[in-house]
Every structure is written in C-alpha cells, then in structure tokens.
C-alpha cells in the first residue's frame, strides 16, 4: 500500500499561534489526501481533504496544501484554540493512516 | 440519519477463543474498512471491501483474521485462536465510494486475557 510518513509526532503551541503538520507519500499516482482529527477516547473524524486538481483548500481556520512534485501535503491550523488539542492523522489514497501528530494547544 | 454502528462495544475473551465483531455501515455506502488501533497508535489498516468483495486484504496480520460482507452491507470481522496481542480497539469505517470521506464507527474494544 501507499507509504505515508507524518511529521512531527508531537507539536505544542501557544493559543493563537499557527500549527503545521506535514505528510509525505510515495505513490505519485495518488489523487486524494485527507486529514482526520481524533480526540481522546473518540473516533477519527475528517476535518479536511484535498484532491490533486487543486493545490490548496481552506475551511475557516484550517487549510491543506498539496505539492505533487515533492509528494507532500500539509495541514495548517491558524489561530489555534485549546479545543484543537487532539491527534491528527493524514492518510493516503488507499486509506492507510500516518502515525499521527499529537497537537497540544496551551492556553 | 444513522451513522456507522459496531457491536459489541466491548468484548473480553480468553486466549485461544474465537470472536466475531460486527459493523453496520451507513446505508448506501459501498466501501467498508476495518482498522485496529492500539493505545497511542494510529489506525492500522486491515481490510477494505468494495461491495461484497474484499478489494484489499493485505493488512490482515495473519490467517487467524478473516472478514466477510456477504450482502454488501453489514460486515463481520472474525478472529480465530485469539492472542493477547490482538487486544485493541477495532474500528470500522464506511464511505460513499473510494477514495472519499470515511465515517467511523465507535469501535469495539477487544481484550484478550
């Protein structure tokens, strides 16, 4: 399956700062790149996804950027809030997940 | 409408026993996935169904694990001769085609004593 690597594994930011999480993938034919958020004790939920026909997609404070040449895509969260604290996962088109990034937003 | 449901929510079994975990996907979702998640880890892909057929079962760890989806809706994950290392939360997800947004069920927490 698709090999997806995610960095960093942990990220701590102050409330109001931005957070960026990056994933690299191996299959140049991939066309779908989702990001999931999993709060403690809960199920993963999609927060944003992008398809390869666009380079960026935004939804309020969340954005995803895609660089097909370099084979990486990134999650950007602006004006972080304590409720953004969770584990974030990227996935490949074959729906195999990255190892996750634990984001902590300090008030 | 109803989301993805999984039963049981918790299952405790003894080493060597057989277990079945059930997933009811969202009605009309043709794609169904099984994952398992250990504490502090990401969801580990097990198997993906498109309709009734297993389109990708390369994540099943060994031949003790088997899954079916006979009518293209409900799926059952079957684990034979359970081992303590099988203890995890087993997650099911469904989507309208693939690739597309996955909707996850609440999971079944399996504990093998």
- Chain A contact for B56 (CB, 8 A cutoff): yes
CA atoms B55, B61, B63, B65: torsion sign: negative
Read off the pLDDT of residues B21-45 as tens digits, 9 standing for 90 and up: 999 999 999 999 999 999 989 999 9
| Closest listed residue to residue B73, CA positions, set B28, B14, B8, B19 | B28
Tokens of A64: 């995803």
H-helix or E-strand spanning residue A76: strand A72-77
- Tell me the pLDDT tens digit for each residue of A12-59: 999 999 999 999 999 888 999 999 999 999 999 999 999 988 899 999
Interface residue of A96, A98, A100, A101 to substitute, partner B, most B CBs within 10 Å: A96
Who wins on pLDDT, B2 or A56?
A: A56
Residue A7, min C-alpha distance to chain B (Å): 13
Closest C-alpha among B69, B63, B84, B73 to residue B17 = B84
Mean pLDDT throughout B53-73? 96
Inter-chain contact A97–B42, Cβ cutoff 8 Å?
yes
Q: What is the pLDDT of residue B1?
A: 58
Report how far residue A58's alpha carbon sits from residue A75's, in angstroms, rounded to the nearest whole number.
Answer: 10
Average pLDDT of chain B, as a whole number: 96
Size of interface A-B (CB pairs under 8 A): 51
């Amino acid at each position: 399956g698709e090999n997806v690597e995610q960095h960093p594994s942990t990220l701590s930011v102050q409330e109001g700062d931005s957070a960026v999480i990056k994933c690299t993938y191996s299959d140049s034919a991939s066309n779908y790149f989702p990001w999931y958020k999993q709060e403690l004790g809960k199920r993963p939920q999609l927060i944003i996804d992008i398809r390869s026909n666009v380079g960026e997609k935004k939804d309020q404070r969340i954005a995803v950027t895609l660089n097909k040449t370099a084979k990486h895509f990134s999650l950007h969260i602006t004006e972080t809030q304590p409720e953004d604290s969770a584990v974030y996962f990227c996935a490949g088109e074959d729906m195999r997940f990255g190892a996750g990034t634990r984001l902590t937003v300090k008030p | 409408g109803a989301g993805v449901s999984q039963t049981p929510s918790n299952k405790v079994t003894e080493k060597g026993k057989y277990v079945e975990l059930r997933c009811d996907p969202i009605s009309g979702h043709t794609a169904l996935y099984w994952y398992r998640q250990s504490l502090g880890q990401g969801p580990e892909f097990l198997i993906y169904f498109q309709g009734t057929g297993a389109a990708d079962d390369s994540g099943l760890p060994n031949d003790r694990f088997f899954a079916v989806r006979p009518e293209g809706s409900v799926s059952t994950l079957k684990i034979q001769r359970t081992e303590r290392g099988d203890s995890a939360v087993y997650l099911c997800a469904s989507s309208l085609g693939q690739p597309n947004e996955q909707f996850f069920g609440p999971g079944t927490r399996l504990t093998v004593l």
